[in-house]
């Protein structure tokens, strides 16, 4: 691999990332605003946010839950907000996978921890993750609001959620970058409007 090829790859990747975010700005601003409203309503009513996803999306769920529990803006003094990543308890995940089958692990946690009026954010780059989709179904049965951070064509998840935020890309890396950017925007604005 030549240095010129590597530099071209780096520049092309950054351009693709920027182009994806430009499409997000053009196509998803309204949906992002709806997610902010949904979450402010829930948190104002003393409800909580649950998050789930697999692989890199699990890491995003954990990252975003931490932003609510701890904070984003160090200049805003506020209490921790109730957000739980359903991906962090390895004993729960492995017992559920062993005893119930992996597809059921998030739905089981939603059933155990969720309440009517809570919000479930499921993160899936394809919208085809059965573990996330079963969690969406359980949350809806329980009267929770559901938001999908999705990509590609949205997959089956698009029709399961109250609000589908579908990153306009077919590239998994670009979709994941979009998800964390969208999450930061939503969570930062919720923090600002509630406490800033």
Per-residue pLDDT tens digits for 54-94: 999 999 999 999 999 999 999 999 999 999 999 999 999 99
CA atoms within 13 A on the CB side of 81: 31
pLDDT tens figures, 119-164: 999 999 999 999 999 999 999 999 999 999 999 999 999 999 999 9
- Which of these CATH numbers, 3.40.50.10490, 3.40.190.10, 3.20.20.70, 3.40.50.720, describes 3-195? 3.40.50.10490
Q: How many CB atoms lie within 10 A of CB 178?
A: 26
Look at residue 35 in the predicted model and tell me its pLDDT: 98
In the structure, what pLDDT confidence band is assigned to residue 98 with cuts at 50, 70 and 90? very high
The vertex-158 CA angle with 52 and 191, nearest 5°, equals: 50
Look at residue 1 in the predicted model and tell me its pLDDT: 63
Which tokens go with 3? 């240095």
pTM of the model: 0.96
Look at residue 190 in the predicted model and tell me its pLDDT: 97
Look at residue 4 in the predicted model and tell me its pLDDT: 86
Residue found by looking up tokens 């923090």 in the block: 191
Q: Where are the domains of the chain?
A: 3-195
- Identify the H or E element spanning 19: helix 3-27
Instruction: Tell me what the pLDDT averaged over the chain comes to.
Output: 97
């Amino acid at each position: 691999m030549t240095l010129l090829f590597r530099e071209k790859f780096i520049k092309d990747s950054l351009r693709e990332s920027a182009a994806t975010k430009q499409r997000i700005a053009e196509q998803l601003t309204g949906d992002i605003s709806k997610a902010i409203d949904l979450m402010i309503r829930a948190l104002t009513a003393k409800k909580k946010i649950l998050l789930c996803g697999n692989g890199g999306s699990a890491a995003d769920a954990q990252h975003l839950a931490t932003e609510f529990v701890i904070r984003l803006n160090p200049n805003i003094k506020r209490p921790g907000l109730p957000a739980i990543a359903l991906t962090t308890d390895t004993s729960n995940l492995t017992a559920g996978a062993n005893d119930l089958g992996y597809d059921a692990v998030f739905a089981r946690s939603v059933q155990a921890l969720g309440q009517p009026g809570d919000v479930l954010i499921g993160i899936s780059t394809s919208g085809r993750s059965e573990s996330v989709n079963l969690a969406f179904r359980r949350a809806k049965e329980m009267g929770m609001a559901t938001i999908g951070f999705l990509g590609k064509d949205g997959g089956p998840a698009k029709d399961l959620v109250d609000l589908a935020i579908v990153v306009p890309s077919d590239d998994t890396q670009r979709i994941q970058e979009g998800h964390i950017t969208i999450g930061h925007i939503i969570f930062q604005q919720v923090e600002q409007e509630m406490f800033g």
